[in-house]
Structure 1
Amino acid sequence: MKVNVQSVNFKADQQLVDFIQKKLDKLENFYSKVVYADVYLKVQKTSEKENKITEILLSIPGDDLIVKKTCKKFEECVDESVKSLQRQLIKKKEKQKVVS
C-alpha cells in the first residue's frame, strides 16, 4: 500500500515514517483492496501535553475512511488510529458479505 506522510510545522524523522508504514501495512490483512493512505501529522501549539494530532485518510474503492486522534505521542496516535480503522474495515467487509 502506498502511504503518503505529511508533517505540518515540523520534519518527521524516518523512524516515525517507517513505524507508520509498518502499522498501516497490517490493515491489508483485514481488507485487501486498500488503495493508499494519506497521513497528516500536526503539532498543536498549546500548553496541554496531548498536542500531537494524527489524521489518516484511507482510500478504498467506493469510499474513504478518515480517523483523527489527538495524543501525547505520534506513535500512540497511530496505534489508536489503526485500531479504529481495523474496526471500520472489518465492518465494511462484513457488510459486503451480507450483500453478496
Structure 2
Amino acid sequence: MEVKIQAIHFDATEKLQEFIEKKVAKFGKFSEEIRKVEVSLKVVKPETSMNKEASIKVLASTGEFFAEKVCDTFEEAVDVCLDALVRQLSKYKEKQRDH
C-alpha cells in the first residue's frame, strides 16, 4: 500500500508524517484491497483554533473513499478522518456481503 502525504503551504514535521504513516498502516490491515492512500494537510486561514484541515482519499480496487475534517490539530483531524473511512469501508463490505 502506497501512502502519499501532501502538506499544502507548510512543511509537515517528521513527527507528524510518522504519526500519519503509523495510523494509515493500521488502516491497511482493514482491507487488502487498498492500493493507495493520499493524505492532504492544510492550514485554513485565518489562523484561529479549529484551522487544521486533513483530507484523506483511499484508493481501493473496489472504489474510492474520501473523508475531510477540520480540527484543532492535524493529528486529531487525521484520527477523525480515519474513523469516518473505517465506517465507510465497513458499510461497503456489508453491502457486498448482502448481495
TM-score bracket for this pair, using the shorter chain length: over 0.9
TM-score computed with the length of structure 1 as normaliser: 0.92
Structure 1: 4+ residue segments shifted above 4 A: none
Pair 1:96–1:40, CA change in 2 (3 A): same
RMSD: 1.1
For this pair of structures, how many residues does the alignment match? 99
2:21, 2:51 → 1: CA distance?
22
**Residue 26 (structure 1) shift:** 1.3
**Residue 47 (structure 1) shift:** 4.4
Residue of structure 2 in register with 1:81 after alignment? 81
What does 1:15-54 correspond to in 2, within 5 Å? Answer: 15-54=15-54
Residue of structure 1 in register with 2:58 after alignment? 58
For residues 59-85 of structure 1, give each alpha carbon's deviation from its aligned partner in whole angstroms, at most 9, with x where no partner exists: 011311110000010000011011111
Unaligned 5+ segments in structure 1 are none
2:74, 2:20 → 1: CA distance?
9
Unaligned 5+ segments in structure 2 are none
TM-score computed with the length of structure 2 as normaliser: 0.93
Residues 1:5 and 2:9 aligned together = no
1:6 partner amino acid: Q
1:28, 1:95 → 2: CA distance?
20
2:51, 2:57 → 1: CA distance?
20
